[in-house]
Structure formats: structure tokens, C-alpha cells
A and B are shown apart, each in its own frame.
Chain A
């Protein structure tokens, strides 16, 4: 098993002195074998978080409840009643409603909103024994690809660009919208984190930070209790440092929920068992249309990924997904349309921010003007426009037709015997804060060019690190699977992970004394 290979006995001592260096699987095994206590593990993470405030990965830290939960976990482990994720400290994207813990969606409009309920996915994690370190920063309402739209300030990636023998000063973005999740995991502030993905918000930040992120099939995880962005596209998933960790987390997160009628009542396989399974004979599709979206560096990595999978015994076939180029424009009609309606509930009447107004309409307008940031306002306006009378058929209906065609492209590829599709995850390595999208938001939207198709088709997609670019920043590959065949993605992703150069996560340059 892979974690045995990477965890040599010399390393073990080093890891035990700083348990934040353990993978989630390693930490699980160390807890169960009592080499480490949940309190030690949690405290190490709590301390790391306190020292990493410069990264701005957390909006809310919850150290006391985390340590209390860790003590309970230790007691359970002592009684021999450990659950699958017993005592493992995780970060939760602040889009998940958490009972008794303020939930912001990265927006000012929710103010000090504190849910009286727990999202199904986070509740599933707690059911399996995991514990929460705090709530992770994100782009406002998950709208963004750099975590720069958060009302709580941008998240800084732990990664820095190479400059000579040292590093560039520029603050690198951790991707978005799950930028707090990717940064926290890459900076070893949490063993893993929940994230959400509407157009690439799990996979792009994972690719930017050298982590693993999977967006499962639409319907695999419940959306109940997760603040909605675009309901027909949103899915929950994990960001972790290894493929195995992602498999472990997703198994707990996934499952049918009668409270979400779009969740699917299908058994959740043991995804971890798929990690390390042979990929011999698996047929991998390489879509030629994805060749144009990225730079030379990412295309070279893509070729390398093809070679790695071929070496692992997979069969490589070129495929065509002809409607790919319409995906991004269609996505930027459907997602804002749904968002404009989903965000209508933030009106100042029942919870969250309320700005006083002359009358009710004035109150609505002032509250929403102050509560929503520029990107959210832009998308709400785009959404309202494309749904409005006289434009609906020209925009929304056509976008839905494109969506069907994109899905059909994939259906045909899978029907022709392709088991998974390999593509780049992002067009390039991460950029620096303020570098993109300031003048033209479309520049930022182009980050999702390889990922949106997957949401449009409702398919599972996983981002796996492939190596570092010339600038020293991570580059990721994406595997796209058949509906509900996450297991195959984990097998293939693990094969890439084994073949790719091991990612050395950055040393904590951000650390400040407490």
C-alpha cells in the first residue's frame, strides 16, 4: 500500500513530532494504533492554524470544540469503538452550514448568521468521527477562481514562485472558489477539507496548490445545508494531499439524502479499495478539443500524463468532444441564472445583514447593494438578464441545449468504450493576486475552461498534481469519469500520483509566532 511506501521508519519519527505532516490515512492508522492521540493531532493543527493567519485560509477557527471532540475520539479509540474517520481534524468550507457555528458563504450579506442545522455532508463526516477545525475562506458565494472575491479578504497560497534560488514576493492565489480549502490542506493546516465545485471550484484550487480534489457525480453528495450557488451544477467534494485521502473522505461524505431529491440512492463503494488497483487495459480518452485551451507547459504535462497512464497499462485513444468550446459561454448563462434566483432569499427580511431603507424596496436594494460584492452583483444581474422576458429563449434555452450536447459528447465517448478522459486541470499554474480579471472578468472565467464541461454533464472529475511548472508552482491533470464511477477515477488518479514526481509542500514561510 502506498502510504507504507511513503512512510519509511526514519520519516515516521519526524512525522510523529509534527503530525501535520501525516496524510489523513496515515493519521487514521496512527490514531487507531495509538501511536498518536487525537488531542495531539488536533492540537498540532490548531497551532499550525494560529501561526498561519497570514494565509487567511480560515474565516472562523473553532479550536475548543475541535479539542473537545478530539478528547471524545480518544475515549472512543480507547474503548475500541473508533469510527472510520475517528479523531481526524478537517476544515469545512464556509459554504456548508454548521450548527451553532457562524456560516458566511464568504459574503457580508449573511452577517453573523449562525445556522441551527448541520449540512448533510458535514454531518456525515461527524457521524464517522471526524472533527472540525474551523470554517474555510472562499470566494463570495463560491463565485470566483482566485479567492479574491471573498468579503473576508483573499486567501494566500502557501506556494510561491521561484526567483533565482529563492522565491518571488508576489502573493499567489490558491485558486477558487475553494481557496481556503486548498490553501489550508497544502499548508498542512488540516488533514483534508470539504469543498464545493460548480464549474471547477474543487479541481482548479487543487491543481493550483498541488493537492487532490474530486468533484463527484452530480447527485453523489447531498446539497442539503450547503449554501446554493447554481443548484443544477453544485456538488460537494474533498480536497486532500493524497488520492487515498480523497477516497477516504468522499466515502463518508457521499450518500443518498431524502432531503435532497437530486441526490441519488445508489450504494457508496469503498473508494479506498480502488486506490492502488491496476489500471491495465483501462481505455483513456484524450479529447483533441482540449489542446487549444492551455499553454505549452500544461500541454507538455498532459502528454506526460498520457505517457504515465500508458506505462501503467492503460490504452490511450483520441476522442472528440466537439461541443467543448461552447461550454464556458453556456456555463456563464446557466450558473448566473440559477444564482440570481438562489440569492434572492438574501433580502434582509429574516436573517443576515439589513440596511435601513425608506420603504421595503429601498431596504431590499440597500441591503443587497451593501451585502453583495462586485462579482456576485455582476452574476446576479447577468442571471436576471438571461432569464428575463424576451431573452430567455435566446440565452437560457439555448444554453440548456448546449448543455445537452456536451453531455451527449461524453455519453458517446463512454459508449464507445472509453473508461475515463484525461485533460489538463487548468490552463496554467497559479497567478498572483490582482494579476487576472481586474479589467476583464472573462479573463478569470477562462480558468474554468477545462472543468466546466464536467459540471455541465454532471460527471465526476478529479484533479491530481502532475508536477511543477517552470515558475515552481504546481500543475494539475484532470480525469473525467462515467457517472457514479468515482472508483475508476481513484484508481487512475493513484496511478498518476505514483508516476508523477512527489509534491513537496512548501515549508511554512508564513509562520508567525503566536
Chain B
């Protein structure tokens, strides 16, 4: 199981030396589907409590589950996206436990024979570090309902809208070695799911939740005892939970204690994890194959047909961006993180200098979108507008600096960049006559600076600035430079 070599840069310093954190994750991803996993009821988020509930979801007597084929297809598509083995035969099991929001008294899940087996996810942790996280399995299961405790002082209420909604549980191998890697892994997984369209990845609505298994060890030692942190619902919290849990465990071990295997909860407010239940209190789920459902079977052509319909996946797209557009791999990775961003980039880059376009999209556009908290699909600046700005710069019509001003105008007011440059007189001055005139005036007005510049050529910058100021920033900086050099003789 020890799939990765220890990397000194990832180690956590403790009082007794360095520690390595080992993380494995179980991601619960809600399957994008109109209907629930075993009933025809709507799987839509929200709605009045108990409005999306069929007789099956409420576990009325005599009700039987019928598998929703679309959910099966989504699981297969996802498995293909994880480069995983698709099991042509899988089995649904019952996981038995009592809880008010679990109407059947069991969750239908897949225990011994999941629909998807081993796979892998390639994760770019930093611009220079790429890791591979192994996937242990992916299986389909039902979500539970929701208990609501704050409507009454004496009673709890149950909303079954989510009861029976399809989830994919994606289990990683213990291949993650830092909070940063964990965050990058979840981001990448989310990207893959969103590309495939099998999960919207919306963590605020609970469409993506993580159970995080954390243990620590001295480098080279066997895996330590792990604790499972349940239901962490944001990428940021996943990172925080791992950090505080690793610290907690190191503290216990360094004090001579031992880690108790248990389930814990992360409290983001207090920045700590706390015990939920110990191993001794763990449920005996009494798994057994669900006799209401036949084993799930399909053939290889069924899988192949789904594979043929898959969109280009992020890793392939990234490789293509590197090969076809000559982008640095990390930049390509940033662009493909969302399918919409990648599409935006490709639209803007059509027939243009792709590297320049990529810079504009990543630095100007993404920067601004992040600042305003906007999604690429809601960008006020279209791909065509970015393309036009890049064109204006490439053609020498405007400088890069003016380009940013144009971007700002389009962001706030909209409009066509070329027309804006025209009507607002933002065109770059390349007419050497006009530039020379400005230079002459500045030289005449500043004889002392001219003397200084001859002695110290770095003074040239001051003159460039003055010329640009005099021309309202529209002078072609290259032309200004050359003219100044010859006039000042430097």
C-alpha cells in the first residue's frame, strides 16, 4: 500500500522530529440525474420538505427498488474518467442501521462488488509538482434524508427529499501526503466530474462531500492508526481538517500516547476535530446482498458506447493545449480546470497568439472574475472581446497598458474593443514626428536631466515616462525608446 516515497518538503516538524501525514479520501458525489437511484421521484435540490418523495423513498410496506439506468451510466462514465476498471457485474447490498432519516432501515449500497474498480487521478499540486492518486473503487449508493432539530423544542422533523438520491462514493488509496495535495486532489476530481457531467460538484449544496482518513507516521514507518473525519463540505475545510488532525495526532504520539481509531467531526469555527464515535461504538452494518435487486450486469459494448460519447477529459485537453498552443503545462492546467474556461480560451485563441491570449485570460480575466466572485459563464468580457484586445496589441494599435484600460472599459460598459479604441482616441502614436516634437519639448525644458542622462543611461526611463505622459500614454513605447536613445546619444 505504500505507494509513494517520502518527500522531505511535505514533512511536518514535531518535537521529536519529522512526521509524515497519510491521507485517503472517500468522496460522496451526488449523481446528476433527474430521478433518484431507485425511484422515479425528482432528485432536484431544494423544494418544499417532503415534496420529492415517492412511496419507495418513504419505504412504505411492499415497495421495491428499481434501478435508474441513467445513474448507472453516470457511474460508468465517471469510472472511465478515472481511468478505472469497469465491472460488468456488480451487486447492490443492504447496509443496515436505524436512523429516523433512513426510512428503509438500510441504505442500498455496493459493498463487495462495486460497479467501478481501481483507477487513478493525475493531480497537479503546484506548477512544478504532479502526483498520481490511486482510486480504490467507485460504487453507487442511496443518500439518506435530513433530520431537522430546530423546528420544535420537543420534536425532530425529517425531510426525505434527499432520501434515495443517487450518490457515487469514490474511494482513493492512501496516496495523499499533505493538506495541499488533498485540496488539489479534490479540485481535480471535481473538475473530472464536472467535465463528464456526472456531478455538479456543488459543495455548498452538499453535492460533493468528503470523508477524510488521516494518520501520521515517522518517515519510512508503517501506516499509523487512522481517524476518519466525516462529512467535510468544502475544499478549504478539507485542508484545515487534515492540518489540525495531523497536529492532534502528532501531539498525542509525541506525548507517548496512542491514536484510537475513531470517527471524528471537524469544527471549522473552533478549528478542531472532535470524537464522534469510537471503534467499539461503530455500527455492525450487517451487509448482505439486497434480495430485491438482481446483480447489475451489462456488457463491454455498453461501456464502449458510453466511452465513445465522453467529452474530451481535462488531462487530454491539457495535453492538447500544451502541444497545439505551446502553453506551459501549468497554465494549460489552469485553463482546463473548468470546461467553460477551456472553451472560452479556445474561442479567444482562434487564429491568434495563444500564449498571449492565455496570459490575458489567466491574469486579467480570471483575476478579475475571482475578485468579483463571478463564474466564467457570467463574464462581462466575451471571448471575442479578449481576442480583439489581443489583436489590437499585436497589431501595435495599442500598448499592453492601454489594453488593460480597454479591458476595464469593456468590463464595466461593454462594447467592441476596436470601436472603443477608435472613438476614445486610444490609438498608439507611431508617428515619429509627433513623438519627436514631444521629445524636443522635454529636452528643451530639462537641460539638467539631459546632462545627467548622458552620464547615467538609466535616466532614460525618466524621459520615456515624460514622453508617455505628454502623449497620454498612446506613444509606441518602442519608438519612444529608440528616438530618445539617438537624441540623447546613449
Closest Cβ neighbor of A365 among chain B residues: B98
Is A284 an interface residue, CB under 8 A from the partner?
A: no
- Given A105-B61, A262-B294: A347 and B288 interface contact (C-beta under 8 Å): no
Asked if A360 and B67 sit within 8 Å, CB to CB, the answer is: no
> Please, which residue of chain A has its CB at the minimum distance from the CB of B283?
A389
> Are A347 and B98 interface neighbours, CB within 8 A?
yes
Q: Does B269 contact A (CB under 8 A)?
A: no
Least CB separation from A104: chain B residue: B61
Q: Which residues of B contact A471 (CB under 8 A)?
A: none
Residue A231 lies at the interface, judged by CB distance under 8 Å to chain B: yes
**Across the interface, do B284 and A110 meet the contact criterion of CB distance under 8 Å?**
no
- List chain A residues, Cβ under 8 A from B292: 228, 231, 261-262
Q: Tell yes or no: B432 within 8 A of A by CB.
A: no
Known: A224-B62, A227-B62, A360-B100. Is A349-B291 also a contact (CB below 8 A)? no
With A110-B61, A344-B98, A345-B61 known as contacts, the answer to whether A232 contacts B291 (CB < 8 A) is yes
Residue B148 is within 8 A (CB to CB) of chain A in the complex = no
Q: Which residues of A contact B156 (CB under 8 A)?
A: 360
Q: Select B294's contact among A261, A349, A389, A396, beta carbons within 8 Å.
A: A261
Bound Cα distance A96, B62 (Å): 8
Stretch at the interface among B103-111, B226-234, B480-488: B103-111
Interface presence of B66 (CB below 8 A): yes
Residues of chain A within 8 A of B284, CB atoms compared: 388-389
A347 to B61 alpha-carbon distance, docked (Å)? 12
Q: How far is the CA of A116 from the CA of B58 in the complex (A)?
A: 13
Contact residues of B between 138 and 172, Cβ < 8 Å to A: 156, 158
Q: How far is the CA of A260 from the CA of B105 in the complex (A)?
A: 20
> When the two chains form their complex, are residues A117 and B60 in contact, meaning their CB atoms are under 8 A apart?
yes
In the complex, chain B residues whose CB is within 8 Å of the CB of A258: 66
Closest CB in chain A relative to B149 CB, distance in Å? 11
Contact: B59 with A350, CB < 8 Å? Answer: yes
Residues of chain A contacted by B61 (CB below 8 angstroms): 97, 103, 105, 110, 113, 115, 227-228, 345
A364 touches B (CB below 8 Å): yes
For B293, list chain A residues within 8 Å (CB): 261-262
Known A-B contacts A349-B158, A384-B286; the reply to A223 vs B96 at CB < 8 A is no
Return B390 CB to nearest CB of chain A, in Å.
57
Out of B58, B63, B286, B287, name the residue touching A224 (CB < 8 Å): B63
Is B258 an interface residue when CB atoms closer than 8 A count as contact?
no
Task: Say yes or no: A259 contacts B66, CB within 8 Å.
Answer: yes
With an 8 A cutoff between CB atoms, is B55 at the interface?
yes
Nearest chain A CB to B89's CB is how many angstroms away? 15
Kindly list chain B residues whose C-beta atoms are within 8 Å of the C-beta of A117. Answer: 55, 60
CB of A151 within 8 A of chain B? no
Q: CB-defined interface of A237-276 with B at 8 Å, one 1/0 digit per residue?
A: 0000000000000000000001111100000000000000
Tell me what chain B mostly uses at the interface: helix, strand, loop, or mixed.
loop
Interface centre among B62, B66, B287, B288 (most CB of A within 10 A): B62
Question: Which residues 376-415 of A sit at the B interface, judged by CB distance below 8 A?
Answer: 384, 387-389, 392, 396
B64 CB within 8 Å of chain A: yes
A-chain residues with CB within 8 Å of residue B217 when the two chains form the complex: none
Contact assessment for A261 and B64 in the assembled complex, using a CB-CB cutoff below 8 Å: yes
Residues in B whose Cβ lies below 8 Å from that of A226: 62
Which residues in chain B, 25-64, are within 8 Å of chain A measured between CB atoms? 55, 58-64
Question: Is A192 on the interface with B (CB-CB < 8 A)?
Answer: no
Residues in A whose Cβ lies below 8 Å from that of B65: 261
Q: Output the least CB separation between A128 and chain B (Å).
A: 21
- CB contact list, B80-105 vs A, under 8 A: 94, 96, 98, 100, 103-105
Query: Are A344 and B105 in contact, with the CB atoms below 8 A?
Result: yes
A225 at the interface (CB under 8 A from B): yes
Distance of A498 Cα from B134 Cα, bound (Å): 70
The interface residues of chain A lying within 8 Å CB-to-CB of B288 are 337-338, 341, 387, 392, 396
Write out the residue numbers on chain A whose beta carbons fall within 8 Å of the beta carbon of B103. Answer: 345, 349-350
Q: Please report the C-alpha to C-alpha distance between residue A116 and residue B61 in the assembled complex, in whole angstroms.
A: 11
Residues 112-140 of chain A: 1 if any B CB is under 8 Å from the residue's CB, otherwise 0?
01011101000000000000000000000
**Closest-CB distance, B9 to chain A (whole angstroms):** 41
CA distance A132 to B156 in the complex (A): 40
Whether A349 lies near B100 (C-beta < 8 A) is yes
List residues 256-291 of chain B with CB under 8 A from any CB of chain A. Answer: 284, 286-288, 291
Which one of B66, B105, B293 has the greatest number of beta carbons of chain A within 10 Å? B105
Docked-complex contact A261 and B58, CB < 8 angstroms: no
Per the bound structure, the CA–CA distance linking A260 and B293 in Å amounts to: 9
A387 to B111, CA, bound (A): 14
Docked Cα-Cα span, A344 to B58, in Å, equals: 13
A483 to chain B: closest CB distance in Å?
15
Q: In the assembly, what is the distance between CA of A117 and CA of B63, in Å?
A: 10
Instruction: Please name the residue on chain B nearest to A338 by beta carbon.
Output: B291
Q: Is A167 an interface residue (CB 8 A)?
A: no
Do A261 and B66 contact each other (CB < 8 Å), given the known contacts A338-B291, A345-B105? yes
CB contacts (< 8 Å) of B67 on chain A: these are 261
Give the chain A neighbours of B287 by CB distance below 8 A: 387, 392
Interface presence of A230 (CB below 8 A): yes
Additional 11 contacts, C-beta under 8 A, given A388-B284, A392-B286: A97-B60, A110-B61, A228-B292, A231-B291, A261-B293, A337-B288, A341-B105, A344-B104, A347-B98, A387-B286, A387-B287
A-B contact list, 21 entries, CB within 8 Å: A110-B61, A115-B60, A224-B63, A226-B62, A227-B61, A227-B62, A228-B62, A261-B66, A262-B291, A262-B293, A343-B105, A344-B104, A345-B59, A345-B103, A347-B105, A349-B103, A350-B58, A350-B103, A361-B98, A388-B284, A389-B286
Residues of B at the A interface (CB closer than 8 Å) are 55, 58-67, 94, 96, 98, 100, 103-106, 156, 158, 284, 286-288, 291-294
Closest 9 CB pairs of A and B: A344-B105, A232-B291, A387-B286, A231-B291, A345-B59, A225-B62, A227-B61, A389-B284, A97-B62
